[in-house]
A and B are shown apart, each in its own frame.
Chain A
Amino acid sequence: MARELLKGNVAMAEAAIRAGVEAYFGYPITPQTELLEWMSLRMPELGRAFLQAESEVAAVNMVYGAACTGKRVMTSSSSPGVSLMMEGLSYIAGTELPAVLIDVMRGGPGLGNIAPSQADYNQMVHGGGHGDYYSIVLAPASVQEAIDLTVLSFDLAEKYRSLAVVLADGNIGQMMEPAELPPMQPLKQSIPEWAVQGAENRDSRFLSSIYINPEEEEVVNIRLVERWNEIKANEVRYKEYYLEDAEIIVIGYGTAGRVAFSAVRAAREEGIPVGLLRPVSLSPYPYEQITQLVPQARALLVVEMSAGQMLDDVNLAVNGQVPVEFYARLGGIVPFPDEILAEIRRVAHEPLTPGADPREGWLQRLKTVVNA
């Protein structure tokens, strides 16, 4: 396959098609709508199911139903729409079904705006829906990675009977860049042993998330935790840049991680020993990999497009052993490389206050940038 100029949303949609998605249910919302539009064209011409639902609530429950049949199935949305989907996501998790969600995050809270954001981190990584469950969450930093992670999300969802989320931001969804699509996979022919397709020549079965006896529900909850432990052991993904001799470790994912990479390269040219760890799987999170970097680090710098939602996870990994500094833009603003470069210089050259909440200093510095 040749590289072609692709828009992120379209690339993720076509990647899902080539990964063999058999049904798509969604609802228009900026900045992910091109994904739905591409599906509306391509799925019917391939004889697969496409439906524009009446709401995100309905869309995710259509996904729930279709997932019960064991077919590859997905939806996509953006932050406010994903909030509406939380009910269905919890039911899908409680029924232990594979399903894929692409969330192209936008500024919030509330209606917010349609610009890129990473403020759904907690909603996707640390829950969202009710009950004890965990989702696999993968965060692309380029159109190519969005394609690759979309394909991977179907495999992981099926392997673990789990929700798999591609957590992109509006930048990834809207950006065009050269990327290579995978070849078209044949549709999955096997029917999982749990799938509901009609009790022809077998005993009847049902799929449900209700376990009215707490003793039974606890067993299911334990199974979900054990499955999650397996996922944690096998599916942590991250990218490392210039880390070998780095004394300042930048942590950022998605678009923020990509912008941070530009800043890290510029800082390297100035002789600052800085490197970048970019988490690709946000859930499971690369805690151990970050912990292992602590002995070589003078300080860490967390960069994100939310108010320290991922910072909390980095702090868990660092456990107060070295200063963790913080920089973020909020509400749909993407930081420029120069802003992050200035932060790297500050961390490299200025005294840091160990133990202080890095958000406090960051807010002061940010106010000089935004004139708030």
Chain B
Amino acid sequence: MAMTAAPQLVYDRPESLAENPTHYCPGCTHGIAHRLIAEIIDEMGIRGSTIGVAPVGCSVFAYNYFDFDFVEAAHGRAPAMATGVKRVLPDRFVFTYQGDGDLASIGMGEIMHACGRGENITVIFINNAIYGMTGGQMAPTTLPGQKTTSSPTGRDVEQMGFPIKMAEVLATMDGAGYVVRRSLHDPKNIRKAKKAIRMAFEVQKRGLGFSMVELLSTCPTNWGISPSESLKWVEEHMIPVYPLGDYKVTSALEGVKV
């Protein structure tokens, strides 16, 4: 007689993730990033003390997909808005969720100074090398030669400049406690991304300064390729320009395991 194993729950919706279906395109990795954040907030038991700051861009409605408190910033200003929240509620967990246009173009001033101040907030930076919401224009992180609707013959670095490497830039600052780059293109890297997001929140919990996890992400719709091709594109084209790794890890994190 065969033994019947007791049913085991292996996959469930995190409590911090709302039940609303997202508006994200098929194959977009925003959903993965959202889920990782929600899992970590559940695991840390901080749902009631977390305040998210949504950006302008595809994730403008992020607050509909998480089930904890949220505010919605002006384009690029999320780090300033998060600073305002954190300075009056220093015991709350405050994080921003920003795309590459939001963070590295219009919000460059705010992100640099939040980092420079060692603002004790966490930034989740979604880098998919393109403007999604407005329909595929060139981003500061668009790759050299990459075609977009505003660089139709490909990004010519002589005319349009070079990709901006935010993790590398921010890691130079003394206020940075934890600045790393991860990717969401396969399960192994997703697991690494989750650990990094957890570590970033641990940095905030310990008051160790500014933390940012840059996540290389896909945009099949505006890249004009399939979801599976997009995952390959991240690996083959984005990672060589944006190497994965730890760019700044404060020594105060020694011995902290997540």
Report which A residues bind B (CB closer than 8 A).
Answer: 22-23, 25, 49, 51, 53-55, 57-59, 61-69, 71, 73, 87-88, 91, 95, 196-201, 204-210, 212
Chain B residues with CB under 8 A of A208: 54, 63, 70-72
Partner of B48, one of A59, A201, A212: A201
Partner of B77, one of A25, A58, A71: A58
Q: Are B109 and A73 in contact (CB under 8 A)?
A: no
Partner of B63, one of A51, A63, A197, A206: A206
Top 3 nearest A-B pairs by Cβ distance?
A: A65-B84, A200-B48, A208-B72
Chain A residues with CB under 8 A of B87: 23, 25, 49, 51, 62, 66
- Give chain A nearest CB distance to B184 CB in angstroms: 25
Q: Are A205 and B80 in contact (CB under 8 A)?
A: no
- Give chain A nearest CB distance to B72 CB in angstroms: 4
Q: Is B222 an interface residue (CB 8 A)?
A: no
- Cβ contacts A to B, 18 pairs, < 8 Å: A23-B84, A23-B88, A51-B83, A54-B110, A54-B112, A61-B74, A63-B84, A65-B84, A68-B85, A69-B85, A69-B88, A69-B89, A87-B77, A196-B85, A197-B89, A199-B48, A200-B49, A212-B61
Partner of A196, one of B69, B77, B113: B69
Bound Cα distance from A49 to B86, whole angstroms: 10
- Give chain A nearest CB distance to B41 CB in angstroms: 11
Q: Is B125 an interface residue (CB 8 A)?
A: no
Report which B residues bind A (CB closer than 8 A).
Answer: 18, 47-51, 53-54, 60-61, 63, 66-74, 77, 80-89, 92, 109-110, 112-113
Query: Which A residue's beta carbon lies closest to that of B72?
Result: A208
Known contacts A64-B84, A67-B84: A198-B51 contact under CB 8 Å: yes
Most-contacted residue by chain A among B86, B88, B89, B109 (CB, 10 A): B88
Chain A residues with CB under 8 A of B74: 61, 64, 87-88, 91
- Give chain B nearest CB distance to A244 CB in angstroms: 49
Query: Which A residue's beta carbon lies closest to that of B87?
Result: A49
Q: Are B88 and A73 in contact (CB under 8 A)?
A: yes
Partner of B80, one of A58, A69, A204: A58
Query: Which B residue's beta carbon lies closest to that of A208?
Result: B72
How many residue pairs link A and B with beta carbons under 8 A? The number is 130
Query: Which B residue's beta carbon lies closest to that of A207?
Result: B71
Bound Cα distance from A67 to B112, whole angstroms: 23
Query: Which B residue's beta carbon lies closest to that of A197?
Result: B89
14 further A-B pairs in the complex, CB-CB below 8 A; given A58-B110, A69-B88, A196-B69: A25-B84, A51-B83, A54-B109, A54-B113, A64-B74, A64-B81, A66-B85, A87-B74, A197-B69, A198-B48, A198-B68, A198-B89, A204-B18, A204-B69
Chain A residues with CB under 8 A of B18: 204
Q: Are A71 and B88 in contact (CB under 8 A)?
A: yes
- Give chain A nearest CB distance to B115 CB in angstroms: 11
Known contacts A54-B109, A91-B74, A198-B50: A61-B84 contact under CB 8 Å: yes
Q: Are A53 and B80 in contact (CB under 8 A)?
A: yes
Q: Are A73 and B84 in contact (CB under 8 A)?
A: yes
Bound Cα distance from A86 to B181, whole angstroms: 35
Bound Cα distance from A64 to B71, whole angstroms: 10
Q: Are A62 and B71 in contact (CB under 8 A)?
A: no
Chain B residues with CB under 8 A of A61: 73-74, 77, 80-81, 84, 110
Bound Cα distance from A59 to B79, whole angstroms: 11
Most-contacted residue by chain B among A55, A73, A199, A200 (CB, 10 A): A199
Partner of B69, one of A57, A64, A198: A198
- Give chain B nearest CB distance to A63 CB in angstroms: 6
Chain A residues with CB under 8 A of B89: 69, 197-198
- Give chain B nearest CB distance to A311 CB in angstroms: 34
- Give chain A nearest CB distance to B94 CB in angstroms: 9
- Give chain B nearest CB distance to A95 CB in angstroms: 8
Most-contacted residue by chain B among A53, A65, A88, A91 (CB, 10 A): A65
Q: Are B71 and A68 in contact (CB under 8 A)?
A: yes
Chain B residues with CB under 8 A of A25: 84, 87
Most-contacted residue by chain B among A49, A58, A67 (CB, 10 A): A58
Q: Are A204 and B84 in contact (CB under 8 A)?
A: no
Query: Which B residue's beta carbon lies closest to that of A92?
Result: B74
Q: Are B77 and A88 in contact (CB under 8 A)?
A: yes
Known contacts A65-B53, A65-B85, A69-B89: A199-B68 contact under CB 8 Å: yes
- Give chain A nearest CB distance to B70 CB in angstroms: 4
Most-contacted residue by chain B among A49, A71, A198, A212 (CB, 10 A): A198
Q: Are B63 and A22 in contact (CB under 8 A)?
A: no
Query: Which A residue's beta carbon lies closest to that of B47?
Result: A199
Most-contacted residue by chain B among A53, A68, A87, A197 (CB, 10 A): A68
Q: Are B71 and A206 in contact (CB under 8 A)?
A: yes
Chain A residues with CB under 8 A of B110: 54, 57-58, 61
Partner of B51, one of A58, A95, A197: A197
Bound Cα distance from A57 to B77, whole angstroms: 8
Chain B residues with CB under 8 A of A66: 84-85, 87-88
Query: Which B residue's beta carbon lies closest to that of A58?
Result: B80
